[in-house]
Amino acid sequence: MSDALEPELDEDIAELAGFSLSGEGVTRLAWTEELRAAYQWLGGKCEALDLSWQIDAAGNFVAKWKAGSGPATLVGSHVDSVPSGGRYDGALGVLAGLHAIRLLKRRGFSPRRPIWLIAFMDEENTRFNSALFGSRAFCGEDVTGMGERRDATGVSLAEAMRAWDREIATASEASAVAAVGRFVELHVEQGPRLEQQGLQIGVVTSIVGMVGYRVEVSGEANHAGTTPMDLRRDALSGAARMVLAIRDIARSSSDATSNVGVISVTPASSNVIPGSCGFTIDLRAGQDDTLARIDAACREKLQRIASDEGLALSLTETYRMAAAPMSEHVIGAIEAASQDEGASSVRLPSGAGHDAMVLARYVPTGMLFVPSQNGMSHSPEEFTTPADAGRGARVLARALEKISS
């Protein structure tokens, strides 16, 4: 039973991947026509299952199985992608939720409470630096301050929303978490642990806490050939010391990671000493106290390096999320569902952020992972086998059955 395939799910994965900009992999960014077309396609799939659907004030796709009464069981993930990403990250969680509802309806299951399927808007943080926008708005958090954030072409988030007939000022109308009793998110692992251990289901215990910064280092641009080395205020050299220091601080803890993923230099000329350098910092840890320790250590070290190099330093916090433990009740339901399906499982933390970390602050929440081949994610090489995807959807269906009965 655990190795059976789910052809309809495989077809859904392939069809959804077609809603993308041309080029390698899948590029389906927040608030784009590609995402809007994907929503319309998903709506057609929901209508075939007699689910009503809408796009809410924050751009979330919400479909409802109007059965039973009381707080709804929410299932889903996101379908926006990173540039040239894969076809499984986020999207599989939505499509597996759709397929789980399909399986439950075929079994004649009658839920005691409604089941809602959701695709959250802008989980990925790629276009507007507005990570988890849809889930935050769904949970009633204020996202209106993000409206003036702009993408690489200069379009603001507010302008992009307006092209969808949505307004940043009314995004709060998407708040609906009060009507939700549980949330379950299936996701590809985005790491190698399940595959390496030969296991089929990861039962997430917690999602790491994270903090992000935009750093601006200011020195003095000058001629590269005529300025003595001991008189330079080289912003890039100082930033390089900072980047290595950030790496070393994270390496000092087994429970932490750091990343500098974007860096820019001005004036960016081979014969001019860099006058300014900007870069991003992403810090993560499984425990809030660990995150606080490496955060403080990084800020202190950067200030010290700036002083040593005669540079000015500006740090702007772009996001901060506490670690999010999952609900033991939902964890238990996922483990029991895995056992019923004959699937091997293991408890593990998530090193990546997910919409579930927002929902977990408001309602009992759980996540299950399916294996990622070679641990690849955010890449055209991302792949989860049809057997693993199908098994995950069946485990998800059994979990929904348990928590919606």
Cα 233 to Cα 222: distance, rounded to the nearest angstrom: 9
Name the residue type at position 221: A
Kindly list the domain boundaries of the chain, sorted by start residue.
7-208+323-404, 209-321
How many CB atoms neighbour CB 23 within 10 A?
10
| Fold match flag (7-208+323-404 vs 209-321) | no
Predicted structure pTM score: 0.85
Helix (H) or strand (E) segment spanning residue 257:
strand 256-259
Name the residue type at position 103: L
Residues in a beta bridge with 117: 63, 75
How many CB atoms neighbour CB 142 within 10 A?
10
For residue 23, is it left (φ>0), alpha (ψ between -120 and 50) or beta?
A: left
Tell how strand 345-350 and strand 201-207 pair up. parallel
Cα 371 to Cα 188: distance, rounded to the nearest angstrom: 6
Fold held by 209-321 = Alpha-Beta Plaits (3.30.70)
Cα 59 to Cα 62: distance, rounded to the nearest angstrom: 9
187-243: per-residue pLDDT in tens?
999 999 999 999 999 999 999 999 999 999 999 999 999 999 999 999 999 999 999
How many CB atoms neighbour CB 349 within 10 A?
16
CA proximity to 294, closest of 279, 282, 306, 308:
282
For residue 1, what pLDDT is reported? 47
Kindly give the residue spans of alpha helices, DSSP state H, lying in 57-165: 91-106, 133-138, 157-162
CATH class of 7-208+323-404: alpha beta
For residue 125, what pLDDT is reported? 85
Which tokens is 233 given? Answer: 């205020």
For residue 286, what pLDDT is reported? 85
Which tokens is 224 given? Answer: 């590269």
Residue 82 backbone phi and psi in degrees, to 5: -85, 165
Q: Which residues contact 143 (CB under 8 A, 6 or more apart)?
A: 58, 130, 133, 136, 137, 168, 171, 172
Block residue for tokens 């098994």: 391
Residue 385 burial class via C-beta count within 10 angstroms: exposed 0-12, middle 13-18, buried 19 and up: middle
CB-based contact 319:212 (threshold 8 Å): yes
Which tokens is 11 given? Answer: 């077809």
Rounded to 5°, angle at Cα 284 from 125 and 302: 95
How many CB atoms neighbour CB 281 within 10 A?
24
Block residue for tokens 């991003």: 280
For residue 319, what pLDDT is reported? 84
Residue 204 backbone phi and psi in degrees, to 5: -75, 130
CA proximity to 147, closest of 168, 124, 178:
168
Q: 252: helix, coil or strand?
A: coil
pLDDT-flagged residues of the chain (< 50): 1-2
CA proximity to 25, closest of 384, 386, 370, 382:
382
